[in-house]
Structure 1
Amino acid sequence: MTAPTAFAISRERLMLLLMGLILALGMMSYLTLPKREDPEITIRTALVMATHPGLDLAQLEELVARPLEEATRAIEGVDEIRTRIGMGTVVLEVDLETSVPEAAIPSVFGEIEDDLAALAPTMPEGTRGPLINTDFGAVSIASIALTGPDFSLSEIKDQAEVLRDRLYGKEGISAVEVHGVQEERIWLETRSEAHGNIYTLLPVIAKALQGQNVSLSAGSVLLDGQRMPVEISGELRDADQIADLLVEVPGAGKGARLVRLGDLITVRRGTVDPAERPVFHNGRPAILLSVEMAAGEDITVVGDMLRGELDAFAASLPVGMAAELSTFQPAVVADSVNEALVNMGQTFVVVLFVMLAFIGWRQALIVATIVPLAVGFAFA
């Protein structure tokens, strides 16, 4: 009998205490262990992009790419810069040195962003950017789709923003992004039955619209030692006010006459056409919220909280509007964890019955106990 075995047998109570302690520590570690579908990956690369459709490739390299490279290379911690130049586009991939501590990466990225922002005014006129993206490694744990066949996308977006603000205040959530929002426009459309000379009135209509919403100082009033600005009312705030605008239309022999703009053309509020990156859920136009989890959190706990918040929010929505989970990683993680526990239990039972076929039940129980002890020791 070897010395470790003899020591364990001679101190039975101590061994039982140690095994119980290992199992307890393993269980505590399992319950507090962060769980997520995708591993946390430290991103050490920043993407910098600038566009200028009026420059050729040589001009882009000389006037845009080279200044960006020089400004970025001067920052401490930058290891390698890879540049791609396409038609009207410059993209830089900036890698940080592996020696940069993980905690210092955001500050280095912030320094890159500040230096490039200071460089922007020196870029050729018409240059868009430079824009920096350091968040392309983020992964959402859930996506929530808001739909409503009887509501406009603008009305659905308003409710989506309410839910976004509500989730931002919850622990464990780091970011909530809204997708599928379409930029709104006021559309002025001629009618098929419109008079033939309507197109000759377009300059008059444009002049009348340009004369509105002009911000001019109307002075100020000194009241109890405080100077209060005086504002002029009359701003056009919606499509109905634009339609009610009076336009001076030249008349035949009778001079100019005032005509309501809505009587000349159709004024309506709508979104850009065609839609830019629209989102659909179950075949219906939708606004989508993607929810990202903070580092070090348990995805199953955050998922339970998210379900509760979504149920409470859905109950407050107008009749005909719905908020549903489109993707939900916490359920996938919970199934995977449960499957691992079931596999461990099956392994324990199989080992126990195999050992019972060859040795006594006490020895078989000792051998089978190695399975949960090994798992507990790994977690501890």
Structure 2
Amino acid sequence: MPTTTEALVVESGGASARAVEVELDDPRPDEVLVRTVAVGLCHTDLTVASGALPFPLPGVLGHEGAGIVEAVGSAVRGVSVGDEVLTSFTSCGDCRNCRQGHPAYCVQWLPLNLLGGRRADGSPTITRAGEPLGGHFFGQSSFARHALVDERSLVRVPAGSPLPTLAPLGCGFQTGAGAVWNALRPRPGDAVVVLGAGAVGLAAVAAAALTPATRIVAVDRVAHRLETARRFGATHVVDTSALDGDLTAVLLDVTGGGADGVVDTTGVPALLRAGVDALAPRGTALAVGAPPFGVEVGVDVNGLLPGRRVEGITLGDGDGATLIPALVDLVADGRMPLGELVRTYSFDRFDEAVADMHSGATVKPVLVP
């Protein structure tokens, strides 16, 4: 029998999310029904809700879920009823990138996670009064009291885990940490610059502090975020709201001649360009933040010839089955104090959570049903 539950539905681009009654389909053999305990609010959710990305609306978003397994499909082997789980992105499992351990680069990533709104076969996972809604967002759509989740989206965590603290590991926190560990891979003495000290950026700073990098520079315009960056391991901070001069010149100075790695979490073209121009020879700039489709950034081609690289990266090029458990352990041990960034909001305070995220009052809002 379909599961009736309450979900936050975005009716159209630019509209807020409102709680309504919906029906979830029965779990397919490779799907799991999860009772949501907490779900992080991510900029990607807000970008889609604004209408800037072509996800089918009305629909249910949410992709940083955490909860309790209530039912499993007949082919599911990785989790059982009663298990505590985190929900992350999904992937096909069969393409070359998935088989080689890079599911974030699954050839079906966009339709399965961000744009499709349905299962791969076109069937809906969520309906309202018999009419399909956009769902299957990141294989889950967890802005709801229950979510129908692909097994490949699930990571089991120890019983009694602090699920509201861990929920953002499904996207934001693993994205920042994975960008540093899987792509930059700092060497002894490297200088790493993180543009944007939001949830993704601060996870990147904390991850960099666990590497041999000796200069870790956080860039933001919100003072308390920069203070947090220092606590998380930043050796230098740059406040762009009080910047006197060109950002590239400041970064070249503070890194001692150029950054070996730059992580841009903002998606702001001017900031990414400044980071690219501040690279040392053989340095790498990672484009993590996602602006609306079609946004372009110009680069000096001759400036790339000394081995400088500009790369895009999705979800930290992580395999959730291995990266997320490591992050869970690091959070539990206090070596990545990401729980400091989390503030919880009930579903009916969704608009307040969005406002606090935009203003910088809260680094990582987490919704609880």
TM-score normalised per structure 2:
0.22
Whose radius of gyration is greater, 1 or 2? 1
**Structure with the higher helix share, 1 or 2:** 1
Structure ranking higher on relative contact order (CA contacts 8 Å, 6+ apart): 1
